[in-house]
Amino acid sequence: MARPALIVHGGAGPVPEAERTHRQAAVERACDIGWSTIGTGALAAAVAAVRHMEDEPLLNAGIGACLNSDGVVELDAGVMEGAALRAGGVACLRDVRHPIDLAVAVMEDGRHVLLAAEGASRFARDHGVEMADPSIFITDRKRQELIEGADTVGAVARDGDGHIAVAVSTGGRVGKLPGRIGDSPIPGAGFYVDDRFGGVCGTGLGEAFIRLGLARLMVIELQHGMEPASVARGAIDHLGKALAAPGGVILVPRDGAPQAAFNTPAMPWAMAE
């Protein structure tokens, strides 16, 4: 039997002082909800945590997410299981109530890894995933036009059978071009997991995570026997030195405690084990 563990983050960036305690509380609520489902498996726990954060209007995922340059919310999400390396990602969603649910549906369908825009929405409707009017995601337009830095929410879980799963969801970057896809729905960039070594997900400047293939690199370092804390710190160091990019990472190794690291003013996170 493995020791269950869960780590959750609510985005790395220059979080306004007035919002820090509220964002931290939102992340802790998500962690509690995910942890309450750990007995049904790592995937269920990670998805439950992220699904809750899609409903927290102070976090940049789902309701309250940042606006693109057209003043529209476009959402990305991704999920992966470490047992068989199954993965699902969705991008540029405007009318799917919980993007993480659709990412799971894509993974479970198994034909593709990443679906985007109208094709992803059509897949959602065909598979009974809850839809929504796009206006539901805009709760405070003035604030959502100013969100900066806190680019993703995510969770990594390890269950009692030693299975590891990761889930991520995001509104992306404020003012992004319509159709922009960041690292969050891309395995190897914004997330990656392999039961033999561990699972990770990131938050920050998505383009940098994509260019570095950072999540996959972190799992390779775990495979090579590096200490999990060193892997997390080293990834953030690499992110800063290679591309002068802001960001944060969370990590659950095959064995041992979860880890977190970031180079931004704040990254609300919580863990349970």
| The model's pTM | 0.97
- Reading the block at residue 36, the tokens are 């309450």
Residue pLDDT, tens place only, 65-83: 999 999 999 999 999 999 9
Using alpha carbons, select from 29, 82, 32 the residue that is nearest to residue 252: 82
Residue 114 neighbours by CB distance under 10 Å: 18
Residue pLDDT, tens place only, 82-107: 999 999 999 999 999 999 999 999 99
Reported residue count of the chain is 273
Domain span at residue 256? 5-272
Question: What's the farthest any 2 CA atoms get from each other in the chain?
Answer: 50
Q: Residue 71 is part of a domain; what is its CATH number?
A: 3.60.20.30
Residue 152 appears among annotated catalytic residues: yes
Burial 193-211 (b: 16+ CB within 10 A, else e): bbbebbbbbbbbbbebbbe
Catalytic residue among 37, 152, 170, 264: 152
Q: Name residue, tokens 């996170």.
A: 269
% of the chain exceeding 90 in pLDDT? 93
Residue pLDDT, tens place only, 106-154: 999 999 999 999 999 999 999 999 999 999 999 999 888 887 666 799 9
271 contacts 258 by C-beta, under 8 angstroms: yes
HEC profile of 38-68: HHHCHHHHHHHHHHHHCCCCCCCCCCCCCCC
The mean pLDDT value of the chain amounts to: 96
Residues 6, 273: Cα–Cα separation, whole Å: 6
Q: Name residue, tokens 């990443």.
A: 114
Handedness of CA 193, 206, 91, 97 (dihedral sign): positive
Number of domains making up the chain: 1
**Predicted pLDDT at 142:** 84
What average pLDDT does the segment 235-243 reach? 97
